Chain A
Amino acid sequence: MSAPAVGRPAGAAAVGVLARRNPTVKLGLLFVVSLVLVFILDPVTPAVLYVLALIAVAASTRIAPRALALLHLPFAAFGLGVFLVNALSRPGEVLWSAGPLRITVEGLSVGASLALRTLVIGVLAIGFIASTDGVRLMHSLHQQARLGPRVTYAVLAGYRMLQEMPREWQTIRQAHAVRAPLRPDGTLPRGATALARASFALLVISVRKGERMAQSLESRGLGLSPRTTWRPVRLSAADWLMAAGVLAVLGAVLLVSAMLGHLEGIDALFG
C-alpha cells in the first residue's frame, strides 16, 4: 500500500554500511556536495561524480538495482527537461538548426552539466533516504544540529500521524462512497469533488488529533529544561572518516578535472 515516504519505517532498521552512519553527517555531506555542484558547469566533472556516487550508493546500501533504477525516474525526467531547454534555447555556436529550432554547443554542454548535476544530487538523496531511519534522523538533528526539542518531537508526532493517515483516508473514502451515487458502470465515484470532500474530512480529523497530541506532549513535560538524552545518536570515528573520504574524493575529482582542462565554473554561462 502507500507507505509514507519519510525514510524507513520506524523500528525497521535500515541495513547496509551507510545506514550505520550518523544521519546529520550524511545530510551535511549531501548538502556540501550539492553546494559545490552549483559552481560546476562542465559536463565531464558531474558525470564522473555521478558514476562514483552511484557506485558508492549501490555498494553501501542494500537497495535493489531495480528499485534504484525506478527511484532515478523523477530525477532523470527533470534532468532531461533541463537538458532540452538549455540545448534549444541557449545562445552560442549553432551546431544544428531546422526552422525555429537550433541547437548550440554551449547549450549542449551546459544542459548536460545541469542534467548530470540533477542525477548526482538525486542518487545521493536516494542513498540518504534509503539508508536513514526517520526517527534516528530527528534525534540526530536534535543532538548534532541543535534542533530544539519542541520542533524535533513535533515532527516525530507528525510522523506518527502520517503512519495512520492511509488507513484513515481509506475509511473516509469508503464512508463517503457509500453515500455517493454510483457511476453508470456500477462502480464507486472518484471525482475531484469526492476527493476534496474526503480531504476536508481528513483535515478536520487530523487537526483535532494534532491538538490532542500537542496536549499529550505538553503533559509529558516537553519543553522543560534541562533535559537528558537517553541513547544518544553518536558521532563515531567512522562518521568522520566517511566525511573526510567523501570530501577528499570530491576534491580529487575537481583537481584532476581542472588539470585536464575540463572544469568550468559559473563563467561558462556567460562565455
Chain B
Amino acid sequence: MAPAEPVPPVLDLDGVSVTVPRRPEPILRDVTLRLDRGEHLLVVGASGSGKSTLLQAITGVVPHSVLAELTGAVRVNGRPTVESTVVELSGHVGTLAQDPSSGICLPDVEQELALPLENHAVPAEQISGRIDDALASVGAGGLRSRRTDQLSGGEGQRVALAAALITGPELLLLDEPTSMLDPAGVTAVREAIDAAAAAYGPAVVLVEHRLDDYAGEAGVAGLPGRVIVLGDRGDVVAAGATAEVLTAHAARLHAAGCWLPLEAELRAVTGLAGGLAAPPVREALRGLSTPDGAPHEVRPAARSGGGQTVLAVEGLAVSRDAPDRGSRRARRRGVPVERGTQYLLQDVSFRLRTGEVTALLGSNGAGKTSLLLTLAGLVAPAGGTVTGARPGMVFQNPEHQFLAHRVRDEVGHGPADAPPGYVDGLLGRHRLSHLADQSPYRLSGGEKRRLSVAAMLAHERPVLLADEPTFGLDRRDALATTAALRSAAERRSVLFSTHDLRTVAAAADRVLVIADHTLIADGPALQVLRDRSVLGRAGLRLPPLLEWLLAEFDGDEQVRRVLHRLDTAVPAEAAPAGSAARTAGTAGAGAPDATATVSTTGDRS
C-alpha cells in the first residue's frame, strides 16, 4: 500500500440488500454504513429486522455459506467480501456469538486460544505469551489450564472473546454477547469487552436488544457512541449518535421489543429527559402511580391464602446427585440418600395455591432448577415430601420439550380427549394460529416460548412450573410470556424462577427466595423485595428503577401501577407497519416473525 493512499475504512457497506429464497421481501434493504478504525457501533432492531443477517454479510457467511443473494458491496479493510472466503476474512474479523457452548470448539482453554494463532501461522514460540495476554485482557488469566466443559456461561464467553481477539482483527462483531448469561455473567463479560476492546483497539459492531442490562449503571454512556436502528423492513430507519437516536426513537425501539436503558425508557414514556435523577421525571412517575379508574388495568391483589392448596412441600431436601425417579436404583432403594450426602437444599416447606403467581429467586447455582425438577417429580426428593397432583413444567430451552413435528400437534399432544376447538382456542390465545402447520423448531425465540407454555397448559395440570421462562427473550416476548403465566394462574398455581426482579415486581404475587441451602424467604412479592437482608443473603440486586419505586411508594399497588404502565404504555400504541406482508413472508423461511403485536392486558382478562 502506498503511503499517500488514504486508509480505507475498516467496514464499508454500500447499498447492501440481502434476499433469501422463498421470501419475496429482502431481509436487509439498502443498508449503507461506514466504520473507521477503532469506532464502536451499536445495531438495534426488533427480532427479525435483519440484525443477524447484517453480521453474516460482514463475516462473509452471507453469501458464501448461506444460500442468499447479496446486492451492493460489503468491504472489510477495503476488500469486497464477495471476493474472499469466510476463512480468509477471519484475519480481519473476530466474532463473539450468543451461545457460549457453541462459541468454543476445543476441549481445553489453552488449545482453544492457540488454534486461531496456529491457523494464522504465528510462530510457535510466541503463542504461549499471546495466550496469556489475551486471557489477561478479558480478566480470565486463571482459566488457562481449565477444561472448556467446566466453564460457566460467563467464563465461556470471556474465553470465546479472547479467542476472537487473539489474532488482533481490525473488526470485532458482537452478536448479543450477554443474552444467555445470568446477571453476574453479564457484568463480567461486559467489563471484559470494554477492557479487551481497549487493549486490542478493534472497531466494534455490537448487536443487542437488552440495552438496559448491557449498559448497566452507566446508562446510555455505557453503549457504543454510534447507533443504527433497523426497521421491520430491514432498512436503516435511524442513525447517529447513540444518546440522540435513543432519545428521538425511544418509542419506536420500545415498541420493537428493545429493553432500553432506563433514562431512554423514561424519556419514551414521560417525554422528559434526565432519567430517574431528574425531579420532573420523578414527578411524572408519581403521576403514573395514581389510579385512573380503567378496568383491568391493574390485576386485583392476590387473595392472600384464599386459593386452594394444590401442592404442599414439607421438609423437602434436594441433593446434588439424586437419581431420576423411575430409575431402577431409586425404586429399589427407596429414598436414596447416604450419610454425608451434600444437600443442595434442605428444610424447604411451602404451599402453592390456585390463583397465585409465585417467583422463585436465588443466585446462580443455588438450586432453583433442581428444586423445580424435584417438584415436578422428575428427580426424587432426598428427604421430605411433595404432595399434590402432578405439576406441569416448562423448561428453560423450549426446544428440549418439543415432541411433535407441527405446532398444532405439539399443543394437541397433551389433551387425550379434548373437545373440538380446544386446541384452536389455545393456539389463538397464545397467538400461534398463523403458525399452526409449521415445525416447532423453525419458530423464533418468542414463538417457541409461547408454544412451550401453550403446550404445557394443554395438559391441564393444577400447577405450572417454569424455569426462567423469560430468559433470552426480547422485551415484547418477555411481557407476552409473563402475561401468559398470569392468565394461566387464574385456574392454576404458577411458580417460575427468574433473575429479573422487575418482572417479579410487576407480575408475581409471592416470592420464594433460596440461599444458603434452604428457603430463606416466603411472602408477598414486594414485601420480600423490600427486605434488604434477604436480598443481600441471596446475592440479589434491585435495578435502580425498582429501588426508587420501593423507596418512594409505601403501597404495593402504586409500585405495580407504575411498572404496568411503563410496560404497556408504548407497545400498545405503536404497532409496526407492514405486518401482514412480513407474516406471509416468514411463513416458509422459518425466520422470526417480528410483527406479532402484544396486548398484555388482553391476555390477562
Assembled-state Cα–Cα distance A188/B327 (Å) = 9
Looking at A176, A177, A215, A222, the one whose CB has the most chain B CB atoms below 10 A away is A215
B119 touches A221 (CB 8 A): yes
B402 touches A201 (CB 8 A): yes
Q: Which of A105-163 contact B (CB under 8 A)?
A: 134-135, 149, 153, 156-157, 159-160, 163
User: Which of B107-115, B244-252, B517-525 makes up part of the contact surface?
Assistant: B107-115
**A156 contacts across to B, CB distance below 8 A:** 105-107, 111
A216 touches B106 (CB 8 A): no
B400 touches A218 (CB 8 A): no
Given contacts A190-B326, A201-B402, A219-B93, whether A179 and B456 have CB atoms under 8 Å apart is yes
Tell which of A159, A177, A221, A228 touches B90, judged by Cβ atoms closer than 8 Å.
A221
**A223 contacts across to B, CB distance below 8 A:** 87, 119
CB distance from A174 to the nearest CB of B (A): 5
B61 touches A220 (CB 8 A): no
**B65 contacts across to A, CB distance below 8 A:** 215, 218
What is the 8 Å Cβ interface bit string for chain A, positions 200-222, against chain B (1 contact, 0 not)?
01001100010011011111111
Assembled-state Cα–Cα distance A156/B148 (Å) = 12
CB distance from A239 to the nearest CB of B (A): 21
Assembled-state Cα–Cα distance A121/B121 (Å) = 40
Assembled-state Cα–Cα distance A175/B145 (Å) = 34
**A70 contacts across to B, CB distance below 8 A:** none
**A234 contacts across to B, CB distance below 8 A:** none
B393 at interface (Cβ–Cβ under 8 A)? yes
Q: Which of B27-73 contact A (CB under 8 A)?
A: 59, 61, 65
B164 at interface (Cβ–Cβ under 8 A)? yes
CB distance from A31 to the nearest CB of B (A): 25
B121 touches A227 (CB 8 A): yes
B583 at interface (Cβ–Cβ under 8 A)? no
A228 touches B123 (CB 8 A): yes
Assembled-state Cα–Cα distance A212/B392 (Å) = 32
Tell which of B94, B120, B122, B376 touches A219, judged by Cβ atoms closer than 8 Å.
B94
What is the 8 Å Cβ interface bit string for chain B, positions 365-395, against chain A (1 contact, 0 not)?
0000000010011110000000000101101
A219 touches B90 (CB 8 A): yes
Tell which of B99, B118, B397, B414 touches A179, judged by Cβ atoms closer than 8 Å.
B414
CB distance from B537 to the nearest CB of A (A): 29
A178 touches B378 (CB 8 A): yes
B147 at interface (Cβ–Cβ under 8 A)? yes
**A226 contacts across to B, CB distance below 8 A:** 121
Given contacts A204-B399, A216-B105, A229-B124, whether A179 and B324 have CB atoms under 8 Å apart is no
B107 touches A160 (CB 8 A): yes
Looking at A159, A216, A224, A229, the one whose CB has the most chain B CB atoms below 10 A away is A216
- Which of chain A's residues has its CB closest to B416's CB? A181
Given contacts A135-B108, A163-B149, A187-B325, whether A221 and B167 have CB atoms under 8 Å apart is yes
- Which of chain B's residues has its CB closest to A218's CB? B86
Tell which of A149, A157, A164 touches B106, judged by Cβ atoms closer than 8 Å.
A157
Chain B at the A interface: mostly helix, strand, loop or mixed? mixed
Tell which of B101, B105, B378 touches A217, judged by Cβ atoms closer than 8 Å.
B105
B124 touches A220 (CB 8 A): no
**B128 contacts across to A, CB distance below 8 A:** 230
**B402 contacts across to A, CB distance below 8 A:** 201
Tell which of B393, B400, B459 touches A201, judged by Cβ atoms closer than 8 Å.
B400
- Which of chain A's residues has its CB closest to B127's CB? A230
B393 touches A10 (CB 8 A): no
Tell which of A11, A149, A174, A232 touches B107, judged by Cβ atoms closer than 8 Å.
A11
Q: Which of A16-55 contact B (CB under 8 A)?
A: none
**A94 contacts across to B, CB distance below 8 A:** none
Tell which of B93, B95, B441 touches A204, judged by Cβ atoms closer than 8 Å.
B441
- Which of chain A's residues has its CB closest to B56's CB? A215
Assembled-state Cα–Cα distance A262/B25 (Å) = 79
B87 touches A216 (CB 8 A): no
Tell which of B115, B117, B119, B399 touches A205, judged by Cβ atoms closer than 8 Å.
B399
Q: Which of B119-170 contact A (CB under 8 A)?
A: 119-124, 127-128, 145, 147-149, 160, 163-164, 167
A230 touches B124 (CB 8 A): yes
B91 at interface (Cβ–Cβ under 8 A)? yes
Given contacts A221-B120, A224-B119, A228-B124, whether A213 and B399 have CB atoms under 8 Å apart is no
CB distance from A5 to the nearest CB of B (A): 15
Given contacts A187-B331, A221-B91, whether A174 and B149 have CB atoms under 8 Å apart is no
Assembled-state Cα–Cα distance A233/B59 (Å) = 33
Q: Which of B401-458 contact A (CB under 8 A)?
A: 401-403, 413-414, 441, 455-456
CB distance from B195 to the nearest CB of A (A): 21
- Which of chain B's residues has its CB closest to A150's CB? B87
A160 touches B395 (CB 8 A): no
**A134 contacts across to B, CB distance below 8 A:** 107
**A212 contacts across to B, CB distance below 8 A:** 97, 99, 102-103
Given contacts A224-B88, A226-B121, whether A153 and B147 have CB atoms under 8 Å apart is no
B201 at interface (Cβ–Cβ under 8 A)? no
A172 at interface (Cβ–Cβ under 8 A)? yes
CB distance from B161 to the nearest CB of A (A): 12
A221 touches B378 (CB 8 A): no
CB distance from B148 to the nearest CB of A (A): 7
- Which of chain B's residues has its CB closest to A222's CB? B119
A72 at interface (Cβ–Cβ under 8 A)? no
- Which of chain A's residues has its CB closest to B91's CB? A221
Assembled-state Cα–Cα distance A213/B116 (Å) = 14
- Which of chain A's residues has its CB closest to B128's CB? A230
Assembled-state Cα–Cα distance A209/B455 (Å) = 25
CB distance from B397 to the nearest CB of A (A): 8
A160 touches B149 (CB 8 A): yes
**B123 contacts across to A, CB distance below 8 A:** 228
Tell which of B118, B149, B393, B401 touches A164, judged by Cβ atoms closer than 8 Å.
B149
CB distance from B376 to the nearest CB of A (A): 5
- Which of chain A's residues has its CB closest to B117's CB? A230
- Which of chain A's residues has its CB closest to B94's CB? A219
B111 touches A135 (CB 8 A): yes
B90 touches A175 (CB 8 A): no
A171 at interface (Cβ–Cβ under 8 A)? yes
**B119 contacts across to A, CB distance below 8 A:** 149, 220-224, 227
Given contacts A176-B403, A179-B414, A228-B121, whether A220 and B105 have CB atoms under 8 Å apart is yes
**B147 contacts across to A, CB distance below 8 A:** 9-11
Assembled-state Cα–Cα distance A188/B380 (Å) = 12
CB distance from A113 to the nearest CB of B (A): 41
B104 at interface (Cβ–Cβ under 8 A)? yes
Assembled-state Cα–Cα distance A97/B121 (Å) = 71
Assembled-state Cα–Cα distance A73/B280 (Å) = 80
A182 at interface (Cβ–Cβ under 8 A)? yes
A215 touches B401 (CB 8 A): no
CB distance from B186 to the nearest CB of A (A): 21
Looking at A157, A174, A232, the one whose CB has the most chain B CB atoms below 10 A away is A174
A175 touches B400 (CB 8 A): yes
- Which of chain B's residues has its CB closest to A223's CB? B87
A215 touches B61 (CB 8 A): yes
Tell which of A176, A213, A231 touches B401, judged by Cβ atoms closer than 8 Å.
A176
Q: Can you list 24 residue pairs at the A/B interface with Cβ under 8 Å?
A: A9-B147, A10-B107, A135-B106, A160-B105, A170-B324, A175-B401, A176-B401, A176-B403, A178-B392, A179-B392, A187-B325, A187-B331, A188-B378, A209-B102, A215-B95, A218-B86, A220-B90, A224-B87, A224-B119, A227-B121, A228-B121, A229-B118, A230-B124, A231-B124
Contacts A10-B108, A171-B400, A213-B102 supplied; 12 other A-B pairs, CB < 8 Å: A134-B107, A153-B106, A160-B149, A175-B393, A215-B65, A215-B97, A219-B95, A220-B119, A224-B90, A224-B121, A228-B117, A231-B114
Name the 8 nearest CB pairs between A and B, nearest first: A10-B107, A221-B119, A212-B102, A187-B326, A221-B90, A188-B326, A175-B401, A175-B400
Which A residues are within 8 Å of any B CB, using their own CB? 9-11, 134-135, 149, 153, 156-157, 159-160, 163-164, 168, 170-179, 182, 187-188, 190, 197, 201, 204-205, 209, 212-213, 215-224, 226-232
